[in-house]
A and B are shown apart, each in its own frame.
Chain A
């Protein structure tokens, strides 16, 4: 059911990408963008700092409570050591560090991570840490296609980028113009994408990209940009 960029592979192309597709019961391919070791290490480092602050804060606070305070402190340290990620992952799918890095933990079928899975992946962290500083975990991540560390393998979880579900980008208005005959679907999508990314690109970059299509449009610079927008409008709206 899971394919690595299955649609493209079906066309005989093997993209070098971190895209994972999962088919839901409704027959929809969910595209999941995997998070690699560096992003995850950054997230871990942020969490480590937060934990450190928690340890110090709790240590100072509870030292005022005498012996009972030490008891509570030891128990809290234990809880933070083992269950800090579990607490956040079960609530929202991401620890604060992962939230900052824009990634979260999900099952490999795209559903939110459950308590048992989160427990498995975080209790097995010790094995990933072996022999020191996540040596086994890093090795495992590099040896499978889904960047899973040992805990992820056992729990059946993935760390993927969150989709920013922000506002939709509007296409700039232009006089619709029929694109050249025989344009492939991929080509059509590229035209639409170019138009919809209008606000994200600088004028110079747009002109540079549009000029590449000189053989198609027969013009360059700003005129080519306008022409490509025209094609895109025609594709989206018709004449």
Chain B
């Protein structure tokens, strides 16, 4: 069959498909009354795929091939796109997917915990018994800043002098930008064969442990521990989870197993993303608690009681939430 006959025979179908693709997709609220019937698209798509294959094998003109290829590409994009109600996906994510994924990858969580808490304890006890050790991980002016922040005489515990006048809302914004950023970087560090993740976990462990040990040695226990214990439940756990997410990526890069390295990485990226986004959600909660609850001038017993409840809540959420059909299969 000559090209011209072919075009005369099928031109109407191509035009119909073009009209269908030009019409706004379903649910966008922009469809008009006389829009073409979208249910015809799958049939037309398969038809045009056949035409395109014919055009290629019969060596019709490149311009015709280009036109049909564009149609096939657009049809492919339209048909194979996925759209879900996003609100339900977010709820389902935190109720089920995130905790279940974390449990499935708990090996990485425990390793990440070790990499964070190990240096933390080491530096914590070190700084508690040796007054100079803190200066090996933090410059002197930062140490002085920390001391001022948790000095019982400070008018606003937990904030630097420069931020003392800021409102809880401002601190909320600051904590979001700062802490979730750290979490994401810890996750992304996994792409450097895990070295980035390793660095962030160990470094943050050393600094946080060092500060805690140093301030305890100075006797600022009445200000420091009540302030940090509440949001720490979410914040520290989330940083460890971000580390676990980075380690999942790193494992795929360092030891891809039976798959090729890109394929192993692609498979690891899904659960790693789930962990990182779940941790981001937890850091959001942590920022909220840190900004609005932690600075509240309440007796330490109340603070500790609430903190205990929050730690138990996080542990229970990660241990028990989302069991059932997700893990049964």
Contacts and interface: CB of A to CB of B under 8 A. Distances in A.
Of A68, A127, A171, chain B has the most CB atoms within 10 Å of the CB of A127
B215 interface: no
Interface in B80-95: 80-82, 86
Contacts of B46: 26
Given A81-B181, A237-B3, A124 B191 contact: yes
A121 B172 CA distance: 27
Contacts of A116: 270, 273
B159 to A, nearest CB: 14
Interface in A162-203: 163, 165, 168-169, 171, 185, 188-189, 192-193, 195-196
Interface stretch (B56-64, B142-150, B232-240, B307-315): B56-64
Contacts of A119: 273, 277
* SS class, residues of chain A in contact with chain B: helix
A165 B73 CA distance: 10
Chain A: number of interface residues, binned into ranges: 35 or more
Nearest to A127: B191
B188 A125 contact: yes
Contact of A192 (B49, B63, B181): B63
Interface string A109-126: 011101110011001111
Nearest to A192: B61
Contacts of B4: 236-238
Interface of B: 2-4, 45-46, 49, 52-53, 56, 59-64, 66-67, 69-70, 72-74, 76-77, 80-82, 86, 166-167, 169-170, 172-174, 176-177, 180-181, 184-185, 187-192, 196, 249, 262, 265-266, 268-270, 272-273, 276-277
Contacts of B169: 67-68, 70-71
Of B3, B46, B76, B80, chain A has the most CB atoms within 10 Å of the CB of B76
Interface string A225-239: 000000010011110
Contact of A236 (B61, B173, B181): B61
Contacts of A154: 191, 249, 265-266, 268-269, 272
A17 to B, nearest CB: 15
Interface of A: 24, 26-31, 67-68, 70-75, 77-78, 81-82, 106, 110-112, 114-116, 119-120, 123-128, 130, 136, 144, 148, 150-151, 153-156, 163, 165, 168-169, 171, 185, 188-189, 192-193, 195-196, 232, 235-238
A24 B49 contact: yes
Given A120-B273, A236-B61, A71 B170 contact: yes
